[in-house]
Structure 1
Amino acid sequence: MPLDFSLLYFANREATDPPSEYELLRRSAQFADDNGFTALWVPERHFHPFGGAFPNPALAAAALAAVTNRIRLRAGSVVLPLHDPLTVVEDWSFVDNLSGGRVDIACATGWNPNDFVLAPDGFADRRERTLDGAETLRDLWAGKKVTRRNGAGAQAEVMTYPRPVQPELRLWLTCASNPQNFADAGARGMNVLTALLFQRVEDLEPRIRAYREARASAGLDPATGVVTVMLHTFVGESDDAVRAIIREPFLRYLESSIDLWRTKWADLGAGPRDKLVAFAFERYFRTSALFGSWDRCVTFARDLRAAGVDEIACLIDFGVADETILGALPWLTKVRDLAQD
């Protein structure tokens, strides 16, 4: 099976020039569409510059539908406890029609309590709401009705419109590092979207195995489930050249999210912020990102493929200048092509 490559966006920046805020999104999407990449992943984030350029992935996907022709358009991810599944299906069915049937959705539980000012009652049981809500998404997408209380206090059966182009909705479950989440995704016939933020490649392999075993136990073909791994990405001709380009912007990117990952990495301790950020940069560069020379990145991609990964979602918008990112995308295309050998 080929190793798919996609682009993923999670911009960390305050918009200093709002009219050009989404130029990188548009131009890199067109490059990916023209050069055989698999998908474009757009997140949902709220109330913080870390990812906050994307408060609604369906809006971003609708814009991308208008400038692409073949590439898949994916929510990476919808924070499902913040929403009624009815509105999620309405929004993404619209994008499915606009794109000619190119929509997929990853569902996430959410983690930041402040995001839940949008749905305060959804935080405590967010995991259960996500798993149950994913089943509701599937049913609504397939044309089933749900019963809800209407404005007059009566029970009403409703189904969503517009009807989507695709008869079935492909779903991913976003999994950080909890092995149970991988197994739950497998048992429910969902794909997996994960990352190396809080796990290593050697940790990932048994979790992928548990995912495929759960699919088999549920009567599903274990080989058909897709495991997608998000990696921060910048590929160039040499490690030294890449390090010189990305170091300062990536350090700023890490600094902006330190309060999140500092609580997740027990081995970081409680040292000074600058040392923690520098430690994290080296960890990413050496073991947890698609950073460096094209040949180094080919080796890493092949290692992930050997561990059971089906797709690499390349996060490209972490603060490097737009033109520099776009100029490096041909190197990423080379990595994709050579990683198949």
Structure 2
Amino acid sequence: MEFGITTFVENTPDPTNGNLLSPYERMSNLMDEIELADQVGLDVFAVGEHHRPDYVVSSPAVVLAAAAVKTKNIKLSSGVTVLSSDDPVRVFQDFAHVDLLSKGRAEIMAGRGSFIESFPLFGNDLKDYDTLFSEKLELLIALNKSEKITWEGKHRPSIDNRGVYPRPYQDELPIWIAVGGTPQSVVRAATYGLPMALAIIGGEPARFVPFTNLYKETYKKAGHDPAKFQLAINSHGFIGDDSQKAADEYYGPYAYVMSKLGRERGWSPMNRQHYEQMRAREGSLFVGSPQQVIDKILYNHELFGNTRFLLHMSVGTLPHASVLRAIELLGTVVAPTVKKALEKAT
């Protein structure tokens, strides 16, 4: 199993004093986080795309290009690229640059986007939400496979036998499909034979087993090589040396963000009782001591048979030192212990 971190590079008020970091400070902290993740042996670092004031990064490829020259081994991914509102040609070119700078460590995690600010910003109609993604994914896959391309679609000007450059360092860029639990997205990823990243940020993970079973069954029926099967589980979480201290430290920033999003989307506000239920073994939140997180990852692996686990750590602003310590614990304690346990099981 591969281990990594995802972040939206949030910049929310410090729960202790209400202050905001400057965008420069937040970006500087992000570079520290990526460098440390590389140093402690984590496999992946993924940066999300947003176009709103509470998240700093609107162009993951630019940030990952900076990280490429500061790291040696870690894979650098978007998490996600909102492909529906972007130009697949530009996405491919941008990540080809990241791939060249990193000597073959770039990945694209493509999604439809759960935040919709980019659609009106770039002149896209939300009524085309589904067809935008399916058409642009088709083009991105074609670009990845061929240097020259002829293509025609509904939402983008046609391309007549044009070369697209630069080409990446790898023969092809790994393209993951990020899904939130809609069957259509699951089937799309499996039919193309692309690896799938399933975000589980609420409820009980066991409820998502039918989606991963659907993915595996469709992947097999489509005739794809089982040896190339890849499935990631992406979940919110935080690790501390002490379980109770970790839970207390994470609750304030987490509750702030989830309650704010709840007001926007019609969810109930976060409270401590619900938070503690989510922290339980059968819940979706990976918050606590290294051993608690280890046990929970192994429990989820029994459910899903996933090949990658990504911890979305900074849902709300946490002290920088605490985030760095959590990254260190994930890389030096949690990941090695889980990998060893899985090796013994096989």
TM-score (norm 2): 0.86
CA shift, 1:9, in A, is 0.8
Matched residue, 2:24? 19
The answer to whether residue 116 in structure 2 is matched with residue 101 in structure 1 is no
Asked whether the 8 Å contact 2:37–2:328 carries over to 1, the reply is no
CA shift, 1:155, in A, is 7.1
Any unmatched runs of 5+ in structure 1? none
Matched ranges for 1:1-341 at <5 A: 3-14=1-12, 15-49=20-54, 52-142=55-145, 143-147=147-151, 156-259=160-263, 262-263=266-267, 268=268, 273=269, 276-286=270-280, 287-307=283-303, 308-317=305-314, 318-333=316-331, 334-340=333-339, 341=341
CA shift, 1:223, in A, is 4.9
Any unmatched runs of 5+ in structure 2? 13-19, 342-346
Distance 1:278 1:144 in 2: 55
Worse-matched range after superposition: 201-210 or 62-71: 201-210
CA shift, 1:72, in A, is 0.7
Distance 2:66 2:35 in 1: 12
Secondary structure at the aligned position of 2:197 is classed as: strand
- What's the CA shift string for 1:71-109, capped at 9, x where partnerless? 111111111111111111111111111111111111111
Paired residue type of 2:30: L
Pair 324,172 (structure 1): closer, same or farther in 2 beyond 3 Å? same
Secondary structure at the aligned position of 1:124 is classed as: helix
CA shift, 1:210, in A, is 0.9
- What's the CA shift string for 1:4-27, capped at 9, x where partnerless? 110111233255333321233111
Worse-matched range after superposition: 253-262 or 90-99: 253-262
Distance 2:62 2:130 in 1: 25
Asked whether the 8 Å contact 2:4–2:44 carries over to 1, the reply is yes
Asked whether the 8 Å contact 1:41–1:73 carries over to 2, the reply is yes
Worse-matched range after superposition: 153-162 or 87-96: 153-162
Paired residue type of 2:167: R
Paired residue type of 1:127: D
Asked whether the 8 Å contact 1:184–1:214 carries over to 2, the reply is no
Worse-matched range after superposition: 3-12 or 223-232: 223-232
CA shift, 1:338, in A, is 1.2
Asked whether the 8 Å contact 2:92–2:144 carries over to 1, the reply is yes
Worse-matched range after superposition: 245-254 or 37-46: 245-254
Secondary structure at the aligned position of 2:114 is classed as: coil
Secondary structure at the aligned position of 2:124 is classed as: helix
Distance 2:323 2:159 in 1: 52
Secondary structure at the aligned position of 1:215 is classed as: helix
- What's the CA shift string for 1:240-278, capped at 9, x where partnerless? 121222222222222332235645xxxx5xxxx4xx444
Paired residue type of 2:22: D
Worse-matched range after superposition: 140-149 or 302-311: 140-149
Structure 1 segments of 4+ aligned residues over 4 angstroms from their partners = 153-156
For these two proteins, the number of residue pairs brought into alignment is 324
Pair 124,201 (structure 1): closer, same or farther in 2 beyond 3 Å? same
Distance 2:158 2:108 in 1: 32
Secondary structure at the aligned position of 1:106 is classed as: strand
Secondary structure at the aligned position of 1:228 is classed as: strand
Distance 1:130 1:291 in 2: 33
Asked whether the 8 Å contact 1:258–1:277 carries over to 2, the reply is no
Secondary structure at the aligned position of 1:319 is classed as: coil
Distance 1:31 1:24 in 2: 11
Distance 1:4 1:261 in 2: 33
Secondary structure at the aligned position of 1:288 is classed as: coil
Distance 1:177 1:44 in 2: 20
CA shift, 1:112, in A, is 3.5
Pair 13,155 (structure 1): closer, same or farther in 2 beyond 3 Å? closer
Paired residue type of 2:335: R
- What's the CA shift string for 1:262-300, capped at 9, x where partnerless? 45xxxx5xxxx4xx4445533432311221121111110
Distance 1:57 1:253 in 2: 21
CA shift, 1:301, in A, is 0.5
CA RMSD across the alignment: 2.3
CA shift, 1:122, in A, is 4.2
Pair 148,175 (structure 1): closer, same or farther in 2 beyond 3 Å? closer
The percent identity for this pair of structures is 23
Pair 16,235 (structure 1): closer, same or farther in 2 beyond 3 Å? closer
